[in-house]
Amino acid sequence: MKKGFIKLVACALAGMFLLGGCDVLPKGTDGPYEVPLTITADFTKKEGKGGNWVTYGDSKIQLKDGKALVTDRKASNDGIAIPCPDYRGNTINASATVSSANDSVTISMRYDIYGNVSYVNIAGGATTESGETTISGNVDIPANAQNALIYIEASDVRDITVSAFSVSVVGDFNDLSGTPVEELADPTKTASLSAAYADYFKFGVATPTTVYTNSNDSFKKLVLAQFNSVTPENELKPENVLDAATTKADPEKYNECPAVHFDAAKPILDFCKENGIQMRGHTLVWYSQTPSWLFYENYDVNGQLASRDLMLKRMENYIDAVMNWCEENYPGVIYAWDVVNEAAADDGGMRDCYWKQTIGDDYVEKAFEFARKHGPSGVQLFYNDYNEYQTSKQEDILKMLKPIAEAGNIDGMGMQSHISSGLNVDNYIAAAKRYADELGVVIHITELDVTAPKSLNSMYDQGVYMKKLFEAIIQADKDGVPIECVTVWGLTDDMSWKSATKPLLFYGNLSPKPAYEGVMCAVNGGDVAKPADYVEPVTDTTPFVEDYEDQKFIGGPRYSSVQKIVEGGYESKYCLENTEGYAEYDGYSIDVTQYAGHVIHISFAIKSKAPSCKCTADIDGVWPNIAEVQTGTDEWVLGEGDFEIEEGTASLTIYFESTDMSPFYLDNVEIKAMN
């Protein structure tokens, strides 16, 4: 049972508590105050009248029948929010029931962190206007986050109807509402990454504008001390560059040439110009963070989609206007542009999006043609994508870019590299080499962040991985793979768009992480120091046996699958059922880290209507198959296989899946070390 946290806030006692550094008063209360562990929006109450909700961004909210109707949304992130400032340092669950004519709705979090702003997506789901969708997800709020808000946004600017919206604390409540935020470390005391890597490539960072407008200049100092390339995290994306008000006020005048402005990006451009730092322009043509009105006749989303000819004109004029405004006002600052971002689909081929729908499959080719035609000479033109190291996506990207390379309209491949410390480094480097060789382009690693392993020594293990990764990047560079820039996607873990995964080089207080040390060790030699609280991993070769007769299981879901114990086991009463999920690889996952340094033998009984089922080691990028069995008859089938787990592996799971997403049933799983 969760319990509310009682605060003694009687005014007379408050001074004492404050002096003792014990607590601060929750706003406007002078009696016992209980931080509610669930905050539920009440749509029978107007904003500011105790309904626990606020308007988020530029939208209007009408209340009707206990629901909130969010209208007049100008940008995809305009919506409705629940403020939860007292939940810092906690894991929370956010849940909303919505209907909307937008394709999808997302619950996101926004918080201030030392004067900077961070946005994190929590959960999303496809929506329809007629039926309701419930979206729910968990997220960690960093301990130093202030003014956390959970808000509902959508893929587009159409209305959203919200019938339920709540935020609650998961697990025991950690009350930090009276604890001051941590002091920042001196940003000038840490050795420079860009200086250490000067012989190899530029070392860049993505930052939001607030780093430069913030009254606290520590973040700016860290950028200056560490990096020699900067990418605006959001400020040069179409949603920030397109001037909606001007364009829509006179759609006839701006019909072929949408108005643009650079208010959001100017502080970053100014900083780069003043300090001689070069910038990667991100990004011109993208399916996301691009308002849908751009694709409609008269810029009216209630009308018809614009014709191919009109969209080609809008695209050409936009690319021309943006590249040349930047060059004229900030000559030489932007040295590379991500001309097209994320055009390849996750499940093969090209991603379906407004650009493709209006212009056709050659929109990518056209974008590069226009960028080459209008772009200032010497500015490098990049294609940029994620999961770019995965074999099938790589094939699609290469196929798409080959004609563009042949036409001489592309200079670089941007490997986003949102990866995890489970990614196979050799596979990753092979991808970089292949792009360079087959397209004749240079490589930028554009958005590196590395999800920390869920291991006993997570930060240290991440540092060890970073060393291995950067050693391989340096070696590839020495071997002639033209890696010219490596950019990390954010300054600190707490500022990351994936803050809960702690994927960056600096802690929230600006002090360097073991991940930073790993990057430095790769170039300077030496090893990441073991922390004082290092926990020696124990190799435990006790066999893992699950027959489900006790109706229990220790493994868990991979992504969004669901497991249940059901009757009808293999030669016994019970077995494990795996259902739901969004992809075939949403299966049942078992941690096998304890067998590091051993060959394991896995045996199991499995049953499914799918043609086959697999057991696979979860090594990002390679996913080695341990066993595959033919199923499909709905009879139990036995499977087995061996797998060698490298010594020193900090974290590894194996997972079972059915190859067409049919439910599968598992029994008699046995894993034992062979040596």
Instruction: Work out how close the CB of 120 gets to ligand XIL at its nearest, in angstroms, rounded to a whole number.
Output: 8
Cβ atoms within 10 Å, residue 20 = 8
CA–CA gap between residue 556 and residue 268 (Å, rounded): 44
- Interaction between residue 287 and ligand XIL (CB under 6 A): no
Residue nearest ligand XIL (C-beta atom):
497
Cα within 13 Å of Cα(593), Cβ side: 17
Q: Pick the closer one to ligand XIL by CB: 234 or 455.
A: 234
- Interaction between residue 234 and ligand XIL (CB under 6 A): yes
Q: Pick the closer one to ligand XIL by CB: 99 or 234.
A: 234
Q: Residue 198, by phi and psi: left (phi above 0), alpha (psi -120 to 50) or beta?
A: alpha
Q: Which of 233, 365, 369, 447 is catalytic?
A: 447
Q: Pick the closer one to ligand XIL by CB: 144 or 416.
A: 416
- Structure-block tokens of residue 50: 């105790």
The one-letter amino acid at 624: P
Q: Please select the residue that binds ligand XIL; options are 5, 17, 119, 553, rule is CB under 6 A.
A: 119
Instruction: Work out how close the CB of 522 gets to ligand XIL at its nearest, in angstroms, rounded to a whole number.
Output: 25
For residue 452, count CB atoms less than 10 angstroms from its CB and return exposed for 0-12, middle for 13-18, buried for 19 or more: buried
Q: Please select the residue that binds ligand XIL; options are 106, 290, 341, 651, rule is CB under 6 A.
A: 341
Instruction: Work out how close the CB of 208 gets to ligand XIL at its nearest, in angstroms, rounded to a whole number.
Output: 7
Question: Between 470 and 509, how does the x/- string for binding to ligand XIL read (CB under 6 A)?
Answer: ---------------------------x------------
CA distances 109 to 50, 288, 318, 355, 671, Å, are 21, 18, 31, 28, 40
296 Cβ contact list (under 8 Å, min separation 6)? 303, 304, 305, 306
Cβ atoms within 10 Å, residue 339 = 31
What is the DSSP annotation of 640-657?
EEEEEPPTT----EEEEE
Q: Pick the closer one to ligand XIL by CB: 341 or 594.
A: 341
Instruction: Work out how close the CB of 337 gets to ligand XIL at its nearest, in angstroms, rounded to a whole number.
Output: 13
Q: Please select the residue that binds ligand XIL; options are 90, 416, 563, 578, rule is CB under 6 A.
A: 416
Instruction: Work out how close the CB of 364 gets to ligand XIL at its nearest, in angstroms, rounded to a whole number.
Output: 15
Active site residue 447: yes
CA distances 21 to 31, 178, 184, Å, are 19, 8, 19
Binders in 435-454 for ligand XIL, by CB under 6 A = 447
Instruction: Work out how close the CB of 505 gets to ligand XIL at its nearest, in angstroms, rounded to a whole number.
Output: 16
Q: Pick the closer one to ligand XIL by CB: 238 or 537.
A: 238
- Structure-block tokens of residue 540: 């435990």
Instruction: Work out how close the CB of 395 gets to ligand XIL at its nearest, in angstroms, rounded to a whole number.
Output: 21
Instruction: Work out how close the CB of 490 gets to ligand XIL at its nearest, in angstroms, rounded to a whole number.
Output: 7
- Interaction between residue 194 and ligand XIL (CB under 6 A): no
Q: Please select the residue that binds ligand XIL; options are 233, 547, 657, 667, rule is CB under 6 A.
A: 233
CA–CA gap between residue 92 and residue 120 (Å, rounded): 13
Q: Pick the closer one to ligand XIL by CB: 17 or 119.
A: 119
Active site residue 342: yes
131-158 burial code (b ≥16 CB/10 A, e <16) = eebebebebbbbebbeebbbbbbbbbbb
Q: 467 and 518 in contact (C-beta within 8 Å)?
A: yes
> Sign of the CA dihedral 54, 57, 63, 69?
negative
CA–CA gap between residue 203 and residue 219 (Å, rounded): 16
Q: 98 and 127 in contact (C-beta within 8 Å)?
A: yes
Q: Which of 235, 342, 484, 546 is catalytic?
A: 342
Residues near ligand XIL (CB under 6 A), total: 7
Interface residues toward ligand XIL, by CB under 6 A = 119, 233-234, 341, 416, 447, 497
Active site residues: 342, 447
